[in-house]
A and B are shown apart, each in its own frame.
Chain A
Amino acid sequence: MDLTLFVQLLISGLLLGGVYALSSIGLTLIFGVMKIVNFAHGEFLMIAMYLSFWLYHLLHVDPYLSIAVVAPALFGLGLLTYHIGVRPTLGAPHLNQIFVMVGLSIVIENAALLWWSADFRTVTLDYLRVQIVLGPYPGFGLEEVIINPGRLIAFFVGLAISVAFYFFLKLSYSGKIIRATSQDRSTALLMGIDIDKVYRLTFAVGLLLVGVAGALMIPMFTVHPFVGFEFVLVMFVVVVFGGMGSVAGAVLAGLFIGVVEVFSDFLIGPDSKQAVYFLLFIAVLVLKPSGLFGLKGEEEVERIEAIE
């Protein structure tokens, strides 16, 4: 493989990984704080993509501007879902937690199929048709490298939001109580933190983040009722790789998985690329289940009690 090709694949991989990272942050946040895997996360991404699509299609709202509508809408949906489906199962066995979300994902996916049919829908933006060309840089032995502008935008907006979110967790009061609850629930409770409020906020913010991801993705990816299922599998890989609950881990793992996918696509072929990261996934689960950045022992964590 020559250098130009390598750089091209690396850049494509990182840009794809940026999308994965952004869509996985919400999932890892919800797990970190509530110890619940949101099996319906992909379907919420699908809802966000459809919202953005219809806003563009019916009202000609630019997808990047639609974030202002889609993100709050998903935040509200998060509050609703928390109240109806998540809160009642917090003290229940894991199986109940898992299958409430699995059931919800089945309902959302098939409701989308019923209402919007299985058609593939895309948003094509004229201003994203331009191709950004880097190089050539003969000094480094590099020829032209092409960059997809939609993915570049998604990458940088995603990165900016990840950084903003990091400071939200670090500096704001809401962020602090979320982190406190994540680290030690009982002590947080003793300090007078309203755990129910933290959970509600966490779940809603998790969905807000996936809402932003959906709007950023609609100019590049087609949306259909099963798109959530496609992406949620990658998100699981990313979240476990980065260490469940670690936001920084999800960002790095997202970039890594993006690169792995693009390279295995090129080297082995598009059919088997998924198999590569699933095998990696199982390997991580077996060798270091806490992931690259997770807290040790997290994978064996006890279930939490119901909120009184």
Chain B
Amino acid sequence: MKPSSSRRSAFGLAAALLALGLAPLFIRNDFYLDGFILVFLWASFSGAWNILGGYAGMVSLGHNAFFAIGAYTSTLLFLRLGITPWLGMFAGGLLAAAVGILLGIVCFRLRSHYFALATLAFGQVVFILTMNWRGLTQGAEGIALPIEPSLAHMVFASKLAYVYLGFGLFLVVLAVAIAIERSRLGYFLTAFRENEDAARALGVKTGQVRLIAMALSAFLSAVAGTYYAQYVVYIDPSGVSRLQLSVQVALFAIVGGLGTFSGPIIGACIFVPITIALRSYLGTTAPGLHMIIYGLILVLTMLYMPKGIYGTLKARMTARTQKESRR
């Protein structure tokens, strides 16, 4: 491959980000701005999942727990102790990272399907806790944040402010993913995913690098949870801790391109508009239709494009450049 191709892709990335970042400025319609917010929210959460699920190949079905920890921690710290969500966000992230490390220590010796089942059980325990620990979470009733727009409270009147808050979060997740991909950590994680025994034989501390990935992944998922809470200004178990959230973010990353930093945003850019369009055109007449489409896309991707959209495109492009350079 010629060196220009990596420069070309860096240029493409910058152009895409610029377009994503500038487009909302020209949109006056709250309906479309809401779409941008959801794209950034899901791309961030999905990107966080991708750090563990994509690079390390550890399929977690319990990331709803981290999202919930983030949402509840910042919200409760704000309502009970008056701590601004700007700090509460970090508190939630650190708590989630700590919980993630504990979960990792306990579950990392489990392989593939067993790890997925263990994390699923963990996510479900957190869901049950948020449903039943009423003194803390008010159960299914949920907790509402006061709607008093102020920068200090991280509550805004204009959607545009939320768009850029979400964009900022997405850029952070993207930066972490790119940094991982280019650092030794990324290679270690990939080595583990491809062949654990070989990675160990070469001296990769597979336990340690996976714990780092888990902590980063949990931290960023929790921050996405805080962002959700601040935007919706209401959290309840079905919004922030249901198991389906984990499946959904995994789905975005997988369809977009697993273990690539572009995958989650591609997934979010495909699925969020589908959801919004179906909801607004069909309303409540066809409940579940958007989930049927999600499921079908997931199954078809797994069967015919196992590397996801980005992975498949990249493989084609590489094949083409190789053919050209051979001429």
Contacts and interface: CB of A to CB of B under 8 A. Distances in A.
Interface of A: 31, 35-37, 85, 88-89, 92-100, 102-107, 109-111, 113-114, 117-118, 225, 233, 236-237, 240, 244, 271-272, 274-275, 278-279, 281-282, 285-286, 289, 299-301, 303
Given A118-B287, A285-B118, A103 B298 contact: yes
B57 to A, nearest CB: 7
17 contacts: A35-B113, A37-B113, A85-B299, A92-B306, A98-B113, A99-B302, A107-B299, A109-B288, A113-B288, A118-B287, A278-B121, A281-B121, A282-B122, A286-B106, A289-B114, A299-B111, A300-B111
Contact of B289 (A114, A225, A301): A114
* Range, interface on chain B: 35 or more
Contacts of A233: 120-121, 124
The 6 closest A-B pairs by CB, nearest first: A110-B288, A106-B295, A103-B298, A107-B295, A94-B112, A113-B288
B139 to A, nearest CB: 9
Interface of B (DSSP majority class): helix
B59 A94 contact: yes
Nearest to A279: B125
B287 A95 contact: no
Nearest to A106: B295
A100 B57 CA distance: 16
A194 to B, nearest CB: 23
Contact of A37 (B110, B117, B122, B286): B117
B14 interface: no
B116 interface: yes
Given A95-B59, A110-B288, A278 B250 contact: no
B298 A285 contact: no
A235 to B, nearest CB: 11
Interface of A (DSSP majority class): helix
B132 interface: yes
B128 interface: yes
A94 to B, nearest CB: 4
Contact of B116 (A37, A110, A225, A301): A37
A278 B112 contact: no
Interface of B: 53, 57, 59, 106-107, 109-114, 116-118, 120-122, 124-125, 128-129, 131-132, 247, 250-251, 254, 258, 286-289, 291-292, 294-299, 302-303, 306
Contact of B250 (A99, A105, A111, A237): A99
A92 B57 CA distance: 13
A52 to B, nearest CB: 22
Contact of A285 (B110, B125, B251, B302): B110
Contacts of A289: 109-110, 114
B306 A282 contact: no
A272 B132 contact: yes
Contacts of A286: 106-107, 118
A227 to B, nearest CB: 15
A111 B294 CA distance: 12
A190 to B, nearest CB: 25
Nearest to A99: B302
Given A111-B292, A271-B132, A289-B110, A96 B306 contact: yes
A167 to B, nearest CB: 29
A240 B113 CA distance: 11
A233 B61 CA distance: 12
A96 B302 contact: yes
B226 to A, nearest CB: 25
A274 B128 contact: yes
Nearest to B303: A88
B117 A285 contact: yes
Given A85-B303, A274-B128, A236 B117 contact: yes
B298 A99 contact: yes
